[in-house]
Amino acid sequence: MTLFHGVAVVTGAGGTGIGAAVAKAFAAAGCERIAITDINETSIEQTRATISSAHPKTQLLVETGNIADDKFAETFINKVVSQFGRVDYAVNCAGVLGQSLRSAETPIEEFDRINNINYRGCWLSSRAELKQMVKQDPLPSHDPERPPQRGAVVNIASQLGIVSRPTAPSYCASKSAVIGMTRADAIDYSQDGIRVNCVCPGVIETPMIMKETEVRERITPAMEIAPMKRMGKPAEVADAVLFLCSTQASFVQGHAMVVDGGYITV
Ligand SMILES: NC(=O)c1ccc[n+]([C@@H]2O[C@H](COP(=O)([O-])OP(=O)(O)OC[C@H]3O[C@@H](n4cnc5c(N)ncnc54)[C@H](O)[C@@H]3O)[C@@H](O)[C@H]2O)c1
């Protein structure tokens, strides 16, 4: 028996990062209608191939696009609804780290790029998802004692939306904004039977962290501070995301769930 009878949508789902792990986890958990998108055509194709070969029954909608583009989020969600009929679990994962700079050295273009993807892009995506969710009939819970669920949004913020670190003012602020937006949407959409939460990952072994030596070196001190003293795996974040999407999280609303090996507790 799957917890995921509905339709899942994942942005930033290309390659081997958190979004790809979330899409794969939905398929492994028995979700049979999944829409994935990424700006990178090659990496989203990689996710499609992995899911299709491991879970041939899963129906996939795959789109390439830029979530910072005003029109893309609406177009994408319209395609999801015309193919699958609804949007039940929406996971907004697309994001960038940006350059390592203090504020005075940060070009305005770099500030705008980071915020346009991480914050505004997340808002554009969740806005399009919420527009659809409010219109659809709720699905029954796995537990007849609990209310049905009209939809669940999970935004991917960061531990750096809660605490900060050197030379990342634009990134930290973009992720704090995601947490604030999540709480505000949770308040506004409770009346519709929609839950809105976010996950705040710590240092996770994804291309964002691993692809550049400079980033890996910058991140190493964070792992020494974190009590668990290791990087997290994308699948460990995906498990938290799926819990928040499921009706097992029926009373979890506006939460920023930290998945960081204890980093922010120190
Ligand atoms: N890896 C970490 O340590 C970590 C920690 C905290 C938060 N996060 C957040 O998790 C999310 C996923 O990051 P990840 O670590 O898996 O990195 P990643 O680079 O593997 O994944 C990010 C994905 O977003 C896509 N993307 C970037 N800009 C886009 C755009 N404009 N439109 C559409 N797609 C776009 C990329 O192509 C990529 O596939 C991000 O929001 C990131 O900020 C990551």
How many angstroms is it from 118 CA to the middle of ligand 1?
A: 9
Q: Mean per-residue pLDDT for 149-160?
A: 98
Q: Mean per-residue pLDDT for 15-22?
A: 98
Nearest-angstrom CA–CA distance, 35 and 61: 4
Q: Mean per-residue pLDDT for 237-263?
A: 98
Q: How confident is the model at residue 225 (pLDDT cuts 50, 70, 90)?
A: confident
How many angstroms is it from 207 CA to the middle of ligand 1?
A: 8
DSSP state of 196: E
Per-residue confidence (pLDDT) for residue 237, from 0 to 100 = 98
pLDDT at 220 over 90: no
> In sequence order, what DSSP letters do the residues of 135-190 get, joined into one string?
TSPPBPPSSTTS--BSEEEEEE--GGGTS--TT-HHHHHHHHHHHHHHHHHHHHHG
In CATH terms, the superfamily for domain 7-265 is NAD(P)-binding Rossmann-like Domain (3.40.50.720)
Which candidate, 57, 60, 66, 31, places its Cα nearest to that of 47? 60
Per-residue confidence (pLDDT) for residue 20, from 0 to 100 = 98
| Catalytic member of 24, 89, 119, 175 | 175
**SS3 of residue 61 by DSSP:** strand
Apex CA 190: angle with CA 186 and CA 196, to 5°?
35
Structure tokens at 199: 């996950």
CB distance 96 to ligand 1 below 6 Å: yes
Give the residue extent of every domain in the chain: 7-265
Interval 55-82: pLDDT, tens:
999 999 999 999 999 999 999 999 999 9
How big is the chain, counted in residues? 266
pLDDT at 217 over 90: no
Which candidate, 78, 81, 79, 29, places its Cα nearest to that of 57? 29
Nearest-angstrom CA–CA distance, 89 and 28: 15
Interval 128-154: pLDDT, tens:
999 999 999 999 999 999 999 999 999
Residue nearest to atom 17 of ligand 1 (CA): 208
| Catalytic member of 89, 119, 171, 263 | 171
Q: Mean per-residue pLDDT for 201-210?
A: 94
Average pLDDT, the chain: 97
Nearest-angstrom CA–CA distance, 129 and 122: 11
Residue 131 appears among annotated catalytic residues: no
